[in-house]
Structure 1
Amino acid sequence: MNVMIVGGGGREHALAERLARSPRIGKLCALPGNGGIAALAECVPIPATDLDALVAFARERSIDFAVVAPDDPLVMGLVDRLEAAGVRCFGPNARAAAIEGSKVYAKDLMRRYGIPTARSRVFDDADRALEYAASAGGPVVVKADGLARGKGVVVAEDADQAVAAVAAIMKERIFGASGDRVLIEERLSGPEVSVLAFTDGRTIVPMVSSMDHKRAFDGDRGPNTGGMGAVAPNPHYTPELAALCMERILRPTVEALRAEGRPFRGCLYFGLMLTADGPKVIEYNCRFGDPEAQAVLPLLESDLFEIMLAVREERLAEAEVHFSKGASCCVVMASEGYPGKVREGMEIHIDSGLPPDTVVYHSGTRRDGETLRTAGGRVLSVTAVASTAGEARSRAYAGVGLIHFEGARFRHDIGTAGGLSHGA
């Protein structure tokens, strides 16, 4: 089959690396792809949000199957457009993708179907939101309603920070129309867990759990980012907790979406908090997380493409989905200044001698002839797999030590007790 991957980050590189192993795939393309994906697939410089050009490409190149990975094109309805053009897809249609496209919708869904989550208030008037933020007292979480590239959540320690966050989102419009509405919710406390799950709208099959590290700096300090690293499996997510989450959160969410006439086919991401009152949902994503995908997918032993076909054809219950019993650690190398403004075009040097079972996924890179250069905030994800979490971490950081570019920055505590996230 001719397959195209929509997207060009580390997540898409991890997907391409797994998909390229399938004997069912003939031609593999990535749009736009990046400097690392180019070794596995034909990269075509069409942005993931140019829906017209993507559909035209699929028609012209007789694409049989599309994997739509990023949130923007999913929420914009690319799956709907491709399916109408006769291209089967892995990924939810626009109605189902609203679970990430609108945090207000997601909160309403959880409230209606009794899915545990934090208490919150919704505001579409900036002045009222500012007044509430000023009087809320104590730590709160301020969230832009729409998509914001993983940066639309501010953990405010006090009223001043909450007011500043509301002003930035609703008055300064730093996220554009995504900040037309904000949620101000209670701050939960406890270990965080990311659970990616395959679902065909009826059956749900969780992948290995993981833990993302959102904050920019060591010790979980600094602003939220798209993610500075991840480990899998999550050390806090016991089999008993997994069973509880399946009963109270995972399966009820899939059933709720189906009941709403929004059956979800693709990868559904559950951001969970293990509170003293039990597991609660922090957020949903309508796709593989980044960098969680770079930590989880290397542990997948089954054919990813066969799983995706089963999801599309609503026969996931029959598919083989197996993960190894090992552990992985992913460390993100970012440009200086991330998650703010960064310089691009820095030359990247990767020395030989990567440790065993260690791979370098490209996120923000581009090829300049024979030279590899930076082309974004998050540049590379170094992932290692081993039989133990400690060995995986050692290998990942050994790999990081072989990579050099001006302004390179990374956290030094991914997978350690000091680096594990506690609190939204």
Structure 2
Amino acid sequence: MLAAMPQPPSAASRDEPVIRERGDACPGALRLHAADDGFLARIRIPGGLLDGPAALLLADAAERLGDGHLDLTSRGNAQLRGLGESCGGELAQLLDRAGLLPAPSHERVRNVVASPLSGLDASGLPDVSGWVPLLDRLLCADPGAARLSGRFLFALDDGRGDVAPLAGDVTLTACGDGALVWTAGSPEGVLVAAGDAPRAALLAANHFLDAVARAGSRAWRVTELPPEHALDVRVLGERLAAAGIPGRVAGVSAPRAAAEAGPDIPAPRAGDGPEPGIVAGPGGAAALSVLAPLGRLTAAQWRLLAGLSGRMRLTPWRGVVVPGLTHRTAGPALDALAAAGLVTAPGDPRRSVTACTGRPGCAKSRADVRADARALASRTAGPLPVHWSGCERRCGHPRGTAWVDLVATPDGYEISAPGRPAAPVAHADLAEALTAARSTTPSPSL
């Protein structure tokens, strides 16, 4: 069996509780982050749901105030880079006009991911997209919810198991005409009626905040709570019942066959995003699924996407789903997106390549990793995806361990893969080393 690579700090599970000694400095739309290429703004877009006018205003902001690009994050949010130090007020006004700042006091806590194909394909699964605006309104109307950190995450899964594995602090999994609400690390949740799901999710977040207050740990995530203050699903059930939401405890880790025979919910699969291409929907409807190369879109590419149907769904896999098309219009639209440089086919070698910001945007980076990744994306192949990092922090690394890691060093890169020890490699030898590493067959346990 191949040895598993250590997970990056951003993805590793923690065996010890985390004691936070400072406040949450996670960037937002109003709290800009200073980077080497200017200031950065992170705009929360709950569920990735974005209408055309708002999307076009974001493109205008990227060109007028930033570097002309929009970055997609692993939570389906958008980032603007290269902002000037004095543009905060103008950016806030523009975002408010776009409807992207419904509650300035809560703008950093509106972290909600949702199954991006929900209601669009022919799966027959429940459509959870309607939960997104309901949860967002409840979240913004709750003064106490502003105490959540900018890293706290809600995940709304329609039952296909795509966003449930993405380490949400509170997850809603659709199940028939109901939903299971559960918190990170718990093998059980509370099964509630679908109409009660958004309110149940907010109450679960408040359950976490009360535990943080009792523990005095300033934890940002559910998994950071000390063991003696871990969330209790039965206490959650009691809190829901007291709020008028009846439910019953059900498991979240039963195999599918057992779940179909009983009340438990099938275990989440490793989170996979939608395949690039045309998504066939019911009644002749269609959607498009595309990926942004290395998570970046130009303002022109963004406008093209926004103009196809007037709606966009940003995904946690740094992609965009465009709903509202037909089988007749989807093909030409996909061709236009391919011509514009987006990833539109499952076999595109850029699909399995990710990278951190690198130079010139990050002072800690030792290389322009995005340029190196672009140069080698079409020259290397293999079953394993690859992540390029400018330093040992390995920012932006996808969850899991079945990846080839390239970490920049003063003399080139250090390369590692499952079952292969880390080894230095000169820049001139990257293509050969990367091809060999990506050909590694990962263990089924990874």
TM-score (norm 2): 0.30
TM-score (norm 1): 0.31
Larger Rg: 2
